[in-house]
Amino acid sequence: MLTRDDHQRIAAAIDKIESQTSGDIYCLVAHEASNYREVPLAWASIVVILVSALFLAAGRSAVPYLADLEGWSAVPAQDVSHWLLLWTLVQAALFAVTALLVSISPIRRVLTPHFLKRHRVSTLARQHFISTGLHLEPHQPHVLIFLALAERIVEIVADPAVHKLTGEKVWHEARDAVVSGMRAPDPAAGLVHAIEIAGAPLIAHFPATRPLHHREGLAEV
């Protein structure tokens, strides 16, 4: 989605901000925040449970040969075991087919609950925020703009000192800038605008006290 020129534009926007502040700003784009391995298994379990419940609700007992519970002793044990074995195989096949279908990436993405996507993106963003801050000096503020393409979710994580001074409005504006850019023909423009918005409080409250150090600016995972 982002070209080499886009990378250069984003890196230049970050360099421009960091030349005016002692803080750091990062932009990270992930193709997908998680593989969501539990989603196919969850949907397969749900389908098997629902089909079994619908089968019973339709008036089918566990042993179709019985008209009611009183006739249990009249059913040959071999017939009962054969039917139960068949039903177990049907459930296993239904589980396997559903799990395989939901494992297909486009289907899995549609069937993954939004709250789970949001949680995984937020968790991964905070992990990267911590890792990007490891090389910084004590109390040196930084901001991370994290974009998960498959989930279409933007997470912006700011140092507590920065967040305390700015509140939520700035980060919402930066997030909206990224979203607008993703919907436009030029997604890099949205990221550049978000960098400018998120960098403004760094410039205002943490002016430059050190020479600019060059970095790639944008990373993709």
Q: What is the pLDDT along the chain (221 residues), one digit of tens a residue?
A: 788 898 999 999 999 999 999 999 999 999 999 999 999 999 999 999 998 888 777 655 545 544 454 455 555 555 556 777 777 888 899 999 999 999 999 999 999 999 999 999 999 999 999 998 888 888 889 999 999 999 999 999 998 888 888 888 999 999 999 999 999 889 999 999 999 999 999 999 998 875 545 445 566 66
Helices (H), 104-206: 105-111, 114-132, 160-166, 169-182, 187-205
Return the pLDDT at 30.
93
Return the pLDDT at 136.
83
Return the pLDDT at 10.
93
Which residues does residue 53 pair with via DSSP β-bridges, in sequence order?
Answer: none
Instruction: List the one residue out of 93, 88, 68, 65 whose CA is nearest residue 78.
Output: 65
Query: Residue 52, Cα to own-chain centre: how many angstroms?
Result: 32
Return the pLDDT at 154.
95
Instruction: Count the neighbouring beta carbons within 10 Å of the beta carbon of residue 54.
Output: 10
What ranges do the domains of the chain cover? Answer: 4-34+113-220, 38-111
Cα→Cα distances 157→65, 139, 143, Å? 62, 15, 6
Return the pLDDT at 69.
46
Tokens of 200: 């403004």
Instruction: List the one residue out of 64, 100, 96 whose CA is nearest residue 80.
Output: 64
Return the pLDDT at 70.
47
- Which of left, alpha, beta for 147 (phi over 0: left; psi -120 to 50: alpha)? beta
Return the pLDDT at 119.
96
Burial class (CB in 10 A: 0-12, 13-18, 19+), 137: exposed
Assess contact for 116 and 36: CB atoms under 8 A.
yes
Query: Residue 40, Cα to own-chain centre: how many angstroms?
Result: 16
Helices (H), the chain: 4-18, 38-57, 77-103, 105-111, 114-132, 160-166, 169-182, 187-205
Query: Which CATH architecture is the domain 4-34+113-220 placed in?
Result: Roll (3.10)
Assess contact for 210 and 202: CB atoms under 8 A.
no
Q: How far apart are CA 14 and CA 47, in angstroms?
A: 48
